[in-house]
A and B are shown apart, each in its own frame.
Chain A
Amino acid sequence: MNERQLPGERAAFHLHFESNAFTVGEVIDTILRGIQGVAPDSEVAGTVEIVMAEVINNIIEHAYNDRAGQPIEVAVTETAGTVDFHFRDRGRPMPLGVHPSGAQPDLDVPCDQLPEGGFGWMLIHRLTSDLRYWRDGTMNHLSFSISTNESTGAQGHRH
């Protein structure tokens, strides 16, 4: 999966997989193993895992309407300080042609009215930068970067 890498070159790989809610965990593990600059079990690995799960679930549930076996592709490029992701799928476009804003759902409500959804895009927005969505013919594109310098103030390993 990994391309041969020369010193000073950027590490990059592509991964093709099919929409299937039951194998998302395995796909994420494969992506994490392919990223050379992020240590397993590090806080950045946790960030990547959260974002990958939300992005892939969104493609499966909304672009492909929970249809299994549909194509998803991700290109991953490592640069100094970031890991850049570019997802492509052939599902339905985002409503209105834009990705959701990721606003914080209102939690100041009685217990029986607490929101059970609306957190996915919020997590994606909070944990990525340069988030872009575009449509190209029959294809959805989503690209974003994740910092490898931990900056979310979360607990865990620091370097």
Chain B
Amino acid sequence: MELQPQQIDDVLVITVKARRIDAAVAIQFKDAMRELTRDARGRIVLDLNQVDFIDSSGLGAVVAAMKQLENGLQLELAALSPTVDKVFRLTRMDSIFAIHDDAASAVGELRKSG
């Protein structure tokens, strides 16, 4: 699984370059996220615009990716497909993560709020 990091102003945007985050790639995803976020200081947005589907193992890996962040940093999510959104809402994980319509608006909110 390929994760593409991009620093936009003070926001680290990580784009998941895969159609699925599922049991087959959950551990790989968590490990790759640990590498990419090791030295993170500011906001981190996970851009899911290429992801159509997530299962409960993939959901657990996203939670794990947030828990392994240091200094109490939060993981934010952007561009959820209807099915990914449904999994987050049914498990109530939508109450744990800040969720943005897309990565641009996630970055833009920082600019707006100064």
Contact = CB atoms under 8 A, between A and B. Distances in A.
A116 B64 contact: yes
Interface in B1-60: 19-20, 22-24, 53, 55-57, 59-60
Contacts of A54: 55-56
B92 A107 contact: yes
B22 A154 contact: no
Interface string B46-83: 00000001011101110110110000101000000011
Q: How large is the interface on A (under 10, 10 to 19, 20 to 34, 35 or more residues)?
A: 20 to 34
Given A21-B24, A46-B83, A112-B67, A122 B91 contact: yes
B83 to A, nearest CB: 4
B87 to A, nearest CB: 6
A141 to B, nearest CB: 22
A123 B49 CA distance: 23
Q: Name the prevailing secondary structure of the A interface residues.
A: helix
A155 B85 contact: yes
A107 B82 CA distance: 22
Contact of A114 (B53, B63, B90): B63
A24 B67 contact: no
Given A46-B86, A50-B87, A57 B57 contact: yes
B71 to A, nearest CB: 12
Interface of B: 19-20, 22-24, 53, 55-57, 59-61, 63-64, 66-67, 72, 74, 82-83, 85-87, 89-93, 95-96
16 contacts: A21-B23, A50-B86, A53-B23, A54-B55, A54-B56, A61-B23, A114-B63, A114-B66, A115-B63, A116-B67, A119-B56, A119-B91, A120-B56, A152-B86, A154-B82, A154-B86
